[in-house]
Protein backbone atom coordinates (compact mmCIF):
# COMPACT_ATOMS: atom_id res chain seq x y z
CA UNK A 1 0.00 0.00 0.00
CA UNK A 2 1.47 3.34 -1.09
CA UNK A 3 1.78 5.93 1.70
CA UNK A 4 2.63 9.60 1.19
CA UNK A 5 4.99 10.66 3.96
CA UNK A 6 5.16 14.09 2.33
CA UNK A 7 2.52 15.12 -0.17
CA UNK A 8 2.61 18.07 -2.56
CA UNK A 9 0.05 20.86 -2.07
CA UNK A 10 0.85 22.08 -5.58
CA UNK A 11 1.36 25.54 -7.03
CA UNK A 12 -1.18 28.32 -6.98
CA UNK A 13 -3.46 28.21 -10.04
CA UNK A 14 -2.34 30.26 -13.02
CA UNK A 15 -3.65 30.84 -16.51
CA UNK A 16 -1.67 29.36 -19.37
CA UNK A 17 -3.88 31.41 -21.66
CA UNK A 18 -2.02 34.60 -20.85
CA UNK A 19 1.26 33.10 -22.06
CA UNK A 20 -0.36 31.66 -25.17
CA UNK A 21 -1.98 34.97 -26.08
CA UNK A 22 1.23 36.92 -25.56
CA UNK A 23 3.23 34.51 -27.70
CA UNK A 24 0.62 34.48 -30.45
CA UNK A 25 0.74 38.25 -30.72
CA UNK A 26 4.54 38.29 -30.69
CA UNK A 27 4.85 35.63 -33.39
CA UNK A 28 2.43 37.52 -35.64
CA UNK A 29 4.43 40.72 -35.24
CA UNK A 30 7.71 38.90 -35.80
CA UNK A 31 6.42 37.19 -38.92
CA UNK A 32 5.27 40.53 -40.32
CA UNK A 33 8.15 42.69 -39.11
CA UNK A 34 11.03 40.30 -39.66
CA UNK A 35 14.50 41.29 -38.53
CA UNK A 36 13.49 44.75 -37.35
CA UNK A 37 10.80 43.26 -35.11
CA UNK A 38 13.42 40.90 -33.62
CA UNK A 39 15.68 43.86 -32.87
CA UNK A 40 12.79 45.77 -31.30
CA UNK A 41 11.89 42.91 -28.98
CA UNK A 42 15.56 42.32 -28.13
CA UNK A 43 15.89 45.95 -27.03
CA UNK A 44 12.63 45.96 -25.12
CA UNK A 45 12.84 42.59 -23.37
CA UNK A 46 16.59 41.94 -23.04
CA UNK A 47 17.99 45.45 -23.06
CA UNK A 48 20.11 44.52 -26.07
CA UNK A 49 20.74 46.90 -28.97
CA UNK A 50 23.98 45.35 -30.21
CA UNK A 51 24.56 43.11 -33.21
CA UNK A 52 22.25 40.12 -33.53
CA UNK A 53 24.62 38.04 -35.65
CA UNK A 54 27.70 37.06 -33.68
CA UNK A 55 30.80 37.19 -35.88
CA UNK A 56 33.63 34.64 -35.78
CA UNK A 57 35.90 37.36 -34.38
CA UNK A 58 33.45 38.06 -31.56
CA UNK A 59 33.31 34.34 -30.77
CA UNK A 60 37.11 34.23 -30.68
CA UNK A 61 37.31 37.26 -28.40
CA UNK A 62 34.69 35.76 -26.08
CA UNK A 63 36.58 32.46 -26.00
CA UNK A 64 39.67 34.26 -24.75
CA UNK A 65 37.67 35.25 -21.66
CA UNK A 66 36.86 31.63 -20.80
CA UNK A 67 39.41 30.23 -18.33
CA UNK A 68 41.51 27.40 -19.75
CA UNK A 69 40.52 24.92 -17.01
CA UNK A 70 36.83 25.50 -17.83
CA UNK A 71 37.56 25.08 -21.53
CA UNK A 72 39.16 21.72 -20.79
CA UNK A 73 36.08 20.54 -18.90
CA UNK A 74 33.77 21.75 -21.69
CA UNK A 75 35.89 19.83 -24.19
CA UNK A 76 35.63 16.71 -21.99
CA UNK A 77 31.85 16.99 -21.91
CA UNK A 78 31.66 17.71 -25.63
CA UNK A 79 33.71 14.62 -26.42
CA UNK A 80 31.39 12.39 -24.38
CA UNK A 81 28.26 13.89 -25.93
CA UNK A 82 29.71 13.62 -29.45
CA UNK A 83 30.73 9.98 -28.97
CA UNK A 84 27.31 9.01 -27.66
CA UNK A 85 25.54 10.85 -30.49
CA UNK A 86 27.79 9.24 -33.10
CA UNK A 87 26.99 5.81 -31.64
CA UNK A 88 23.28 6.65 -31.90
CA UNK A 89 23.76 7.70 -35.52
CA UNK A 90 25.44 4.40 -36.30
CA UNK A 91 22.38 2.58 -34.92
CA UNK A 92 20.05 4.37 -37.37
CA UNK A 93 20.62 2.40 -40.55
CA UNK A 94 19.38 2.32 -44.11
CA UNK A 95 18.17 -1.08 -45.25
CA UNK A 96 16.65 -2.93 -48.22
CA UNK A 97 14.61 -6.11 -48.00
CA UNK A 98 12.82 -8.35 -50.50
CA UNK A 99 9.42 -8.98 -48.89
CA UNK A 100 8.41 -11.40 -51.65
CA UNK A 101 10.13 -12.28 -54.92
CA UNK A 102 10.09 -9.05 -56.90
CA UNK A 103 8.65 -6.85 -54.10
CA UNK A 104 11.53 -4.82 -52.75
CA UNK A 105 11.29 -2.15 -50.05
CA UNK A 106 13.63 -0.22 -47.85
CA UNK A 107 14.26 2.79 -45.68
CA UNK A 108 16.67 5.72 -45.66
CA UNK A 109 17.78 7.92 -42.81
CA UNK A 110 17.97 11.47 -44.19
CA UNK A 111 19.31 14.33 -42.04
CA UNK A 112 17.17 17.45 -41.86
CA UNK A 113 18.52 20.42 -43.78
CA UNK A 114 18.42 23.04 -41.01
CA UNK A 115 18.18 23.01 -37.24
CA UNK A 116 17.54 25.86 -34.83
CA UNK A 117 19.08 25.27 -31.39
CA UNK A 118 17.87 27.40 -28.49
CA UNK A 119 20.31 27.78 -25.58
CA UNK A 120 18.94 29.39 -22.38
CA UNK A 121 21.12 32.08 -20.88
CA UNK A 122 18.99 34.09 -18.49
CA UNK A 123 19.36 33.20 -14.81
CA UNK A 124 21.90 30.47 -15.55
CA UNK A 125 24.45 30.15 -18.35
CA UNK A 126 23.38 26.84 -19.89
CA UNK A 127 26.70 25.79 -21.38
CA UNK A 128 25.64 22.14 -21.48
CA UNK A 129 22.52 22.89 -23.51
CA UNK A 130 24.68 24.28 -26.29
CA UNK A 131 26.67 21.06 -26.34
CA UNK A 132 23.62 18.79 -26.17
CA UNK A 133 21.64 20.37 -29.00
CA UNK A 134 24.32 21.43 -31.48
CA UNK A 135 26.68 18.47 -31.10
CA UNK A 136 23.83 16.03 -31.63
CA UNK A 137 22.63 17.84 -34.75
CA UNK A 138 26.15 17.78 -36.14
CA UNK A 139 26.51 14.04 -35.44
CA UNK A 140 23.20 13.44 -37.22
CA UNK A 141 24.58 15.13 -40.33
CA UNK A 142 22.48 18.32 -40.34
CA UNK A 143 24.31 20.68 -42.75
CA UNK A 144 22.91 23.99 -41.42
CA UNK A 145 22.85 24.63 -37.67
CA UNK A 146 21.80 27.96 -36.21
CA UNK A 147 22.06 28.58 -32.47
CA UNK A 148 20.72 31.45 -30.42
CA UNK A 149 20.96 32.53 -26.81
CA UNK A 150 19.72 35.58 -24.86
CA UNK A 151 22.31 38.36 -24.58
CA UNK A 152 22.89 40.10 -21.28
CA UNK A 153 22.62 43.90 -21.32
CA UNK A 154 25.94 45.48 -22.22
CA UNK A 155 27.66 42.06 -22.36
CA UNK A 156 26.10 39.90 -25.04
CA UNK A 157 25.88 36.12 -24.95
CA UNK A 158 27.80 34.52 -22.08
CA UNK A 159 31.40 33.84 -23.26
CA UNK A 160 31.34 30.18 -22.17
CA UNK A 161 28.10 29.61 -24.10
CA UNK A 162 29.68 31.12 -27.22
CA UNK A 163 32.74 28.91 -26.77
CA UNK A 164 30.54 25.82 -26.39
CA UNK A 165 28.41 26.75 -29.41
CA UNK A 166 31.50 27.14 -31.57
CA UNK A 167 33.10 23.95 -30.27
CA UNK A 168 29.90 21.98 -30.90
CA UNK A 169 29.77 23.13 -34.50
CA UNK A 170 27.19 25.89 -34.89
CA UNK A 171 27.27 27.41 -38.37
CA UNK A 172 25.83 30.73 -37.19
CA UNK A 173 25.11 32.21 -33.77
CA UNK A 174 22.46 34.80 -32.96
CA UNK A 175 22.55 37.00 -29.88
CA UNK A 176 18.83 36.87 -29.27
CA UNK A 177 16.58 34.93 -26.93
CA UNK A 178 12.97 34.37 -26.00
CA UNK A 179 10.15 34.20 -28.53
CA UNK A 180 12.08 36.50 -30.85
CA UNK A 181 15.03 34.09 -30.91
CA UNK A 182 12.81 31.12 -31.70
CA UNK A 183 11.06 33.10 -34.43
CA UNK A 184 14.35 34.26 -35.98
CA UNK A 185 15.39 30.64 -36.48
CA UNK A 186 11.95 29.43 -37.58
CA UNK A 187 11.47 32.22 -40.12
CA UNK A 188 15.02 32.10 -41.49
CA UNK A 189 16.13 35.59 -40.48
CA UNK A 190 19.64 37.09 -40.29
CA UNK A 191 21.02 34.90 -43.05
CA UNK A 192 19.91 31.59 -41.59
CA UNK A 193 17.82 29.10 -43.57
CA UNK A 194 14.34 28.44 -42.23
CA UNK A 195 14.67 25.80 -39.52
CA UNK A 196 13.20 22.37 -40.18
CA UNK A 197 13.29 21.67 -36.45
CA UNK A 198 13.53 23.80 -33.31
CA UNK A 199 15.19 22.20 -30.30
CA UNK A 200 16.38 23.07 -26.83
CA UNK A 201 14.93 23.97 -23.44
CA UNK A 202 13.62 27.38 -22.43
CA UNK A 203 11.12 29.20 -20.26
CA UNK A 204 7.34 29.01 -20.71
CA UNK A 205 7.39 31.61 -23.49
CA UNK A 206 10.01 29.70 -25.47
CA UNK A 207 8.12 26.45 -24.98
CA UNK A 208 4.85 28.07 -26.07
CA UNK A 209 6.48 29.61 -29.13
CA UNK A 210 7.72 26.19 -30.19
CA UNK A 211 4.27 24.71 -29.59
CA UNK A 212 2.55 27.35 -31.73
CA UNK A 213 5.09 27.02 -34.54
CA UNK A 214 4.89 23.22 -34.58
CA UNK A 215 3.46 21.79 -37.77
CA UNK A 216 5.26 23.67 -40.53
CA UNK A 217 8.31 23.39 -38.26
CA UNK A 218 9.27 20.34 -36.22
CA UNK A 219 10.14 20.55 -32.54
CA UNK A 220 11.98 18.20 -30.20
CA UNK A 221 9.10 18.22 -27.68
CA UNK A 222 6.81 20.53 -25.76
CA UNK A 223 8.77 20.82 -22.54
CA UNK A 224 7.54 21.92 -19.14
CA UNK A 225 9.49 22.41 -15.90
CA UNK A 226 12.18 19.84 -15.22
CA UNK A 227 11.30 16.99 -12.83
CA UNK A 228 13.18 14.18 -11.09
CA UNK A 229 12.36 11.02 -9.16
CA UNK A 230 14.71 9.08 -6.91
CA UNK A 231 14.14 5.41 -6.05
CA UNK A 232 16.00 4.34 -2.90
CA UNK A 233 16.18 1.18 -0.81
CA UNK A 234 17.81 0.47 2.55
CA UNK A 235 21.30 0.56 1.00
CA UNK A 236 20.99 4.24 -0.01
CA UNK A 237 22.77 7.03 1.84
CA UNK A 238 20.27 9.52 3.23
CA UNK A 239 22.42 12.63 2.77
CA UNK A 240 23.27 11.71 -0.82
CA UNK A 241 19.59 11.19 -1.60
CA UNK A 242 18.71 14.52 0.01
CA UNK A 243 21.26 16.37 -2.08
CA UNK A 244 20.09 14.65 -5.26
CA UNK A 245 16.57 15.93 -4.57
CA UNK A 246 17.67 19.44 -3.63
CA UNK A 247 20.15 19.62 -6.51
CA UNK A 248 17.31 19.21 -9.00
CA UNK A 249 14.83 21.39 -7.09
CA UNK A 250 17.13 24.39 -7.56
CA UNK A 251 16.03 24.54 -11.21
CA UNK A 252 13.03 26.59 -10.13
CA UNK A 253 9.94 26.94 -7.97
CA UNK A 254 7.94 24.77 -10.40
CA UNK A 255 10.36 21.81 -10.62
CA UNK A 256 8.93 18.71 -8.87
CA UNK A 257 11.18 16.23 -7.08
CA UNK A 258 9.90 12.90 -5.80
CA UNK A 259 11.37 10.23 -3.55
CA UNK A 260 10.06 6.67 -3.74
CA UNK A 261 11.39 4.19 -1.20
CA UNK A 262 10.56 1.13 0.90
CA UNK A 263 12.18 2.12 4.21
CA UNK A 264 10.43 4.49 6.63
CA UNK A 265 13.64 5.07 8.61
CA UNK A 266 15.52 6.17 5.47
CA UNK A 267 12.63 8.47 4.58
CA UNK A 268 12.81 10.12 8.00
CA UNK A 269 16.56 10.66 7.64
CA UNK A 270 16.20 12.18 4.17
CA UNK A 271 13.44 14.50 5.36
CA UNK A 272 15.66 15.61 8.23
CA UNK A 273 18.55 16.44 5.86
CA UNK A 274 16.54 18.44 3.30
CA UNK A 275 16.32 21.77 5.20
CA UNK A 276 20.06 21.84 5.84
CA UNK A 277 20.89 21.08 2.22
CA UNK A 278 18.62 23.85 1.00
CA UNK A 279 20.11 26.29 3.51
CA UNK A 280 23.60 25.69 2.08
CA UNK A 281 22.63 26.90 -1.40
CA UNK A 282 23.31 30.49 -2.48
CA UNK A 283 20.49 32.72 -3.63
CA UNK A 284 18.47 32.58 -5.80
CA UNK A 285 18.99 28.80 -5.84
CA UNK A 286 18.00 28.52 -2.18
CA UNK A 287 14.64 30.17 -2.64
CA UNK A 288 13.94 28.19 -5.81
CA UNK A 289 14.72 24.87 -4.14
CA UNK A 290 12.71 25.74 -1.04
CA UNK A 291 9.67 26.74 -3.07
CA UNK A 292 9.85 23.63 -5.26
CA UNK A 293 10.26 21.33 -2.25
CA UNK A 294 7.45 22.95 -0.28
CA UNK A 295 4.91 22.96 -3.10
CA UNK A 296 5.87 19.99 -5.25
CA UNK A 297 8.18 17.68 -3.30
CA UNK A 298 6.82 14.24 -2.39
CA UNK A 299 8.07 11.29 -0.36
CA UNK A 300 6.27 8.03 -1.14
CA UNK A 301 6.63 4.86 0.95
CA UNK A 302 6.00 1.55 -0.83
CA UNK A 303 5.79 -2.06 0.31
CA UNK A 304 8.39 -3.54 -2.04
CA UNK A 305 10.43 -2.86 -5.17
CA UNK A 306 7.66 -3.87 -7.57
CA UNK A 307 5.35 -1.29 -6.02
CA UNK A 308 8.15 1.26 -6.22
CA UNK A 309 8.58 0.49 -9.93
CA UNK A 310 4.84 0.85 -10.51
CA UNK A 311 4.84 4.28 -8.88
CA UNK A 312 7.85 5.37 -10.97
CA UNK A 313 6.19 4.20 -14.19
CA UNK A 314 3.03 6.09 -13.27
CA UNK A 315 4.94 9.33 -12.66
CA UNK A 316 7.05 8.86 -15.84
CA UNK A 317 9.72 11.32 -14.66
CA UNK A 318 12.13 13.22 -16.83
CA UNK A 319 15.04 11.98 -14.71
CA UNK A 320 14.81 8.65 -12.87
CA UNK A 321 17.61 7.85 -10.43
CA UNK A 322 17.88 4.40 -8.82
CA UNK A 323 19.91 4.04 -5.65
CA UNK A 324 19.17 0.41 -4.84
CA UNK A 325 20.60 -3.08 -5.18
CA UNK A 326 20.18 -5.26 -8.27
CA UNK A 327 20.53 -2.48 -10.82
CA UNK A 328 20.02 -4.86 -13.75
CA UNK A 329 16.55 -5.72 -12.41
CA UNK A 330 15.63 -2.04 -12.26
CA UNK A 331 17.07 -1.34 -15.71
CA UNK A 332 14.93 -4.04 -17.29
CA UNK A 333 11.79 -3.42 -15.18
CA UNK A 334 11.38 0.36 -15.42
CA UNK A 335 9.54 1.52 -18.53
CA UNK A 336 8.66 5.23 -18.35
CA UNK A 337 11.40 7.84 -17.98
CA UNK A 338 13.35 10.36 -20.00
CA UNK A 339 16.75 9.12 -18.86
CA UNK A 340 17.72 6.51 -16.28
CA UNK A 341 20.56 6.96 -13.77
CA UNK A 342 21.68 3.70 -12.19
CA UNK A 343 23.52 3.51 -8.87
CA UNK A 344 24.65 5.86 -6.15
CA UNK A 345 27.66 6.97 -8.23
CA UNK A 346 25.47 8.18 -11.08
CA UNK A 347 23.93 11.52 -10.20
CA UNK A 348 21.46 13.23 -12.53
CA UNK A 349 23.81 16.21 -12.72
CA UNK A 350 26.30 14.04 -14.64
CA UNK A 351 23.69 13.57 -17.36
CA UNK A 352 22.72 17.23 -17.19
CA UNK A 353 26.25 18.40 -17.91
CA UNK A 354 28.87 15.99 -19.15
CA UNK A 355 28.38 12.21 -19.22
CA UNK A 356 27.13 11.84 -22.81
CA UNK A 357 23.42 10.97 -23.16
CA UNK A 358 21.29 13.98 -24.01
CA UNK A 359 19.76 16.15 -21.29
CA UNK A 360 16.90 17.53 -23.38
CA UNK A 361 14.23 15.16 -22.06
CA UNK A 362 10.43 14.77 -21.85
CA UNK A 363 8.77 16.37 -18.81
CA UNK A 364 5.33 16.44 -17.22
CA UNK A 365 4.73 12.71 -17.75
CA UNK A 366 5.50 12.79 -21.49
CA UNK A 367 8.07 10.01 -20.93
CA UNK A 368 5.08 7.63 -21.10
CA UNK A 369 5.16 8.00 -24.89
CA UNK A 370 8.41 9.60 -26.00
CA UNK A 371 12.11 9.75 -25.34
CA UNK A 372 14.42 12.74 -25.31
CA UNK A 373 16.47 14.58 -27.89
CA UNK A 374 18.72 12.32 -29.94
CA UNK A 375 20.18 12.09 -33.41
CA UNK A 376 16.89 10.41 -34.41
CA UNK A 377 15.06 13.73 -33.92
CA UNK A 378 17.29 15.27 -36.59
CA UNK A 379 16.70 12.42 -39.06
CA UNK A 380 13.78 11.60 -41.32
CA UNK A 381 13.16 7.87 -41.61
CA UNK A 382 11.68 7.56 -45.09
CA UNK A 383 10.68 4.44 -46.99
CA UNK A 384 10.83 3.36 -50.63
CA UNK A 385 9.57 0.44 -52.70
CA UNK A 386 10.01 -1.14 -56.13
CA UNK A 387 7.80 -3.75 -57.82
CA UNK A 388 9.12 -6.15 -60.45
CA UNK A 389 7.02 -8.28 -62.81
CA UNK A 390 7.00 -11.42 -60.71
CA UNK A 391 5.41 -9.61 -57.74
CA UNK A 392 2.92 -7.56 -59.75
CA UNK A 393 -0.06 -9.95 -60.23
CA UNK A 394 -0.61 -10.85 -56.57
CA UNK A 395 0.06 -7.31 -55.34
CA UNK A 396 -2.27 -5.74 -57.91
CA UNK A 397 -5.08 -8.20 -57.15
CA UNK A 398 -4.84 -7.58 -53.40
CA UNK A 399 -4.72 -3.81 -53.87
CA UNK A 400 -7.72 -3.77 -56.23
CA UNK A 401 -9.81 -5.99 -53.96
CA UNK A 402 -9.10 -3.97 -50.81
CA UNK A 403 -9.65 -0.66 -52.66
CA UNK A 404 -13.06 -1.73 -53.99
CA UNK A 405 -14.07 -3.02 -50.56
CA UNK A 406 -13.27 0.44 -49.24
CA UNK A 407 -15.18 2.13 -52.04
CA UNK A 408 -12.08 3.62 -53.69
CA UNK A 409 -12.52 2.71 -57.35
CA UNK A 410 -9.77 5.01 -58.58
CA UNK A 411 -7.23 3.25 -56.42
CA UNK A 412 -8.40 -0.11 -57.75
CA UNK A 413 -8.01 0.97 -61.36
CA UNK A 414 -4.40 2.07 -60.84
CA UNK A 415 -3.76 -1.56 -59.89
CA UNK A 416 -5.90 -2.99 -62.75
CA UNK A 417 -4.12 -1.02 -65.45
CA UNK A 418 -0.76 -2.43 -64.42
CA UNK A 419 -2.09 -5.96 -64.72
CA UNK A 420 -3.49 -5.12 -68.14
CA UNK A 421 -0.24 -3.56 -69.30
CA UNK A 422 1.70 -6.55 -68.05
CA UNK A 423 -0.23 -8.84 -70.41
CA UNK A 424 -0.36 -6.37 -73.31
CA UNK A 425 1.36 -7.57 -76.51
CA UNK A 426 2.52 -4.02 -77.17
CA UNK A 427 4.27 -3.91 -73.79
CA UNK A 428 5.77 -7.33 -74.43
CA UNK A 429 7.24 -6.16 -77.77
CA UNK A 430 8.34 -2.89 -76.25
CA UNK A 431 10.23 -4.68 -73.51
CA UNK A 432 11.71 -6.91 -76.28
Active site residues per annotation: 318-319
Quote the CA–CA distance of 105 and 91 in Å, as a whole number. Answer: 19
Helices (H), 92-177: 127-140, 159-168
What is the rounded distance in angstroms from the CA atom of residue 270 to the CA atom of residue 395? 65
Tell me the sheet residues that pair with 145. Answer: 115
d(C-alpha 230, C-alpha 241), whole Å: 8
Helices (H) and strands (E) in the chain, counts: 16, 15
Query: Three-state SS across the chain?
Result: CCEEEECCCCCCCCCHHHHHHHHHHHHHHHHHHHHHHHHHHHHHHHCCCCCCEECHHHHHHHHHCCCHHHHHHHHHHHHHHHHHHHHHHHHCCCEEEEEECCEEEEEEEEECCEEEEECCCCCCCCHHHHHHHHHHHHHHCCCEEEEEECCECCCECCHHHHHHHHHHCCCEEEECCHHHHHHHHHCCCCCCCCCCEEECCCCHHHHHHHHHHECCEEECCCCCCCCEEEEECCCCCHHHHHHHHHHHHCCCCCCCEEEEECCHHHHHHHHHHHHHHHHHCCCCHHHHHHHHHHHHCEEEECCCHHHHHHHHHHHCCCEEEEECCCHHHHHHHCCCCCEEEECCCCCHHHHHHCCCCCCCCCCCCHHHCCCCCCHHHHEEEEEEEEECHHHHHHHHHHHHHHHHHHCCHHHHHHHHHHHHHHCCHHHHHHCC
* DSSP H/E element including 36: helix 16-46
CA-CA distance, 113 to 129, in Å (whole number)?
Answer: 21
H or E element in which residue 53 lies: strand 53-54
The one-character DSSP state at 377 is: G
Amino acid sequence: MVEYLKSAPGLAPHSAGDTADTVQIMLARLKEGGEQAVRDYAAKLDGWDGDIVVTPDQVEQASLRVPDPLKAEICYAHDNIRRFAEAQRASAMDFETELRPGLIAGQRQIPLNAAGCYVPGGRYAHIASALMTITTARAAGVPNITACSPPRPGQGVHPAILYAMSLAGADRILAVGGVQGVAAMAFGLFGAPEADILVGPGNQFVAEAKRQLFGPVGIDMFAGPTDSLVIADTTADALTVAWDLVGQAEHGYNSPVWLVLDDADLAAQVLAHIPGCIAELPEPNRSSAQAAWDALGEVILCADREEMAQVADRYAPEHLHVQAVDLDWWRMRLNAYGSLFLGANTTVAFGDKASGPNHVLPTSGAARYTGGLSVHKYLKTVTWQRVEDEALPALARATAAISRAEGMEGHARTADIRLERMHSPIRAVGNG
